[in-house]
Amino acid sequence: MSHDVSRRSFFGGIAAALGYLGLGPSTDLFAQQNRPGAAGNAPRMRTSSDDYDTMAHLSSNENCWGPPESVMKAMTNAWKYSNRYGYPDANIVGEIAKHHGVKQENILLGAGSGEILDVVGTTYLLGGKKVLGVEPSYSSVYQHATSIKTTAIKLPLGKDYRQDIPAMIKAANEHASEIGLVYLCNPNNPTGITVTKDEVRQLLDGIPKGMPVLIDEAYHHFVDDPNYATSVPYVIEGRPVIIARTFSKIAALAGMRLGYAVASAEIVQKMRPYSMGSINALVKHGGAAALKDTASQASIKKMVIDLRKKTTSELNAYGYETLPSETNFFMVSIGREIQPVIQEFAKKGVAVGRPFPPMTTHMRVSIGTAEEMDRFTKAFKEIFPAKPKSTAAVEGRIVKSTN
């Protein structure tokens, strides 16, 4: 009948292929993206998309390798829900809860941890309360505070660009009545430096009882330092701690948008009205698969750490200090303002940066593929002269508090 004929012409044959053909070993979309000039690739038309594809993207702390096969398979199998609402969702909330040993009522899904940061900000800062944190850090919460007409109390980093926990405790107590939320990015972005588990406990014990603390663990999965630990146990302990996690980093799903908060049921309920509860069907399935694919995550972690060590060693040998990162990015001290340098790298097909005031003479570099890191190092040596290797300790800088 005519309906069926018309209907057929609508279906995504591509989706069907994806769902049922299995894995094709001969083509490799992510590899082509990362290796535009590789031998054997057919010539491609120049488009703005191709311009994007030819850059080494080392500016946004992405996972250059893309989602692993298990995750791609789960997502493509979910195409059939692309037109649906109440479909089987791979029990994503349950899987996350199980992963952390908490209940489903302790999980709030977000479209990336960016949504979670905004939701926490709206929940605790609406009406003019301030967020307390360090600068530089991931500035999303501070920006959201501004957008909802309040401000941040930003403390300078301490010695060796570490977050100064005693100073945070002091400020939290002195400004207790003004503060709605403490923000701790651990490991910190853009420095890549961790706060130790002892320091986290010191912070939580030292601030006024009941003051909510948002701990952003976006880069949790890359950390090797045994002195670091996740703060999820503090949620289970009943503290007013909210952990933000994302599938954008180790799980390589930045463009797909999935993150979540772990917090007490009471806090989750308080936040839910400001969350959209509007997550893409594919990434729910992808996220559930990612949680299970620990082998892929271990492999990504190893590649990131190996490439980070290789690249920073080369920069150190060339005479440039790097900060001791535990993430998929690092900072290098370039001794001059970063902004014009970003342009010089861009001309060489490498995206780096951006400025992170007040550390504007440091450059943040994300870990890309081996080829991309080679390209970066080559560009670095073209742009900067070799320097005698400095042995001076990296000193913390004084940052003006703004509030």
Residues in 116-155 at the binding interface with a copy of itself, rule: CB under 8 A: 118, 122, 126, 144, 147-148
Residue range at the interface with a copy of itself (CB under 8 A); choices 82-90, 210-218, 312-320, 379-387: 82-90
Radius of gyration of the chain (CA): 22
Helical spans, DSSP H, in 238-366:
265-271, 281-292, 294-317, 338-347
111 binds a copy of itself (CB under 8 A): yes
**Nearest CB to a copy of itself, comparing residues 12 and 208:** 12
**Nearest CB to a copy of itself, comparing residues 207 and 268:** 268
**Nearest CB to a copy of itself, comparing residues 48 and 294:** 48
Q: Which of residues 6, 294, 343, 391 is near a copy of itself by CB under 8 A?
A: 6
107 binds a copy of itself (CB under 8 A): no
52 binds a copy of itself (CB under 8 A): yes
Whole-number Cα distances in Å, 300 to 23, 296, 322, 327 = 20, 6, 22, 12
By the 8 A CB rule, do 63 and 307 touch?
no
267 binds a copy of itself (CB under 8 A): no
Residue range at the interface with a copy of itself (CB under 8 A); choices 15-23, 151-159, 312-320, 335-343: 15-23
Tell me, letter by letter, the H, E, C secondary structure of 370-391: HHHHHHHHHHHHHHCCCCCCCC
CB of 376 to a copy of itself, least distance (A): 14
Q: Which of residues 37, 40, 48, 398 is near a copy of itself by CB under 8 A?
A: 48
**Nearest CB to a copy of itself, comparing residues 111 and 169:** 111
306 binds a copy of itself (CB under 8 A): yes
Whole-number Cα distances in Å, 17 to 14, 76, 169, 180 = 5, 9, 56, 51
Q: Which of residues 57, 162, 362, 375 is near a copy of itself by CB under 8 A?
A: 57
CB of 282 to a copy of itself, least distance (A): 7
346 binds a copy of itself (CB under 8 A): no
79 binds a copy of itself (CB under 8 A): yes
**Nearest CB to a copy of itself, comparing residues 220 and 285:** 285
206-239: burial string, b at 16+ Cβ within 10 Å, e else: ebeeebbbbbbbbbbbbbeeeebbbbbebbeeeb
The distance from CA 287 to its chain's CA centroid, rounded to whole angstroms, is 15
**Nearest CB to a copy of itself, comparing residues 6 and 391:** 6
CB of 167 to a copy of itself, least distance (A): 29
350 binds a copy of itself (CB under 8 A): no
**SS3 state at 29:** helix
| Residue 152: strand pairing partners | 131
| Residue 127: strand pairing partners | none
By the 8 A CB rule, do 260 and 113 touch?
yes
CB of 64 to a copy of itself, least distance (A): 7
What are φ and ψ of residue 81, in 5° steps? -100, 5
**Nearest CB to a copy of itself, comparing residues 72 and 203:** 72
301 binds a copy of itself (CB under 8 A): no
> Cβ atoms within 10 A of the Cβ of 330, count?
25
**SS3 state at 365:** strand
Binding mask 366-385 for a copy of itself (x = CB under 8 A): ---xx---------------
256: nearest Cα among 122, 76, 90: 76
41 binds a copy of itself (CB under 8 A): no
Could you say which residues in the range 273-292 bind a copy of itself, by CB under 8 A? 273-274, 276-283
Residue range at the interface with a copy of itself (CB under 8 A); choices 62-70, 210-218, 219-227, 315-323: 62-70
Contacts of 161 (CB under 8 A, 6+ apart): 191, 193, 323, 331, 359, 394, 396, 397
Residue range at the interface with a copy of itself (CB under 8 A); choices 106-114, 175-183, 194-202, 329-337: 106-114
* Angle, CA 169 vertex, CA 153 and CA 244 arms, to 5°: 70
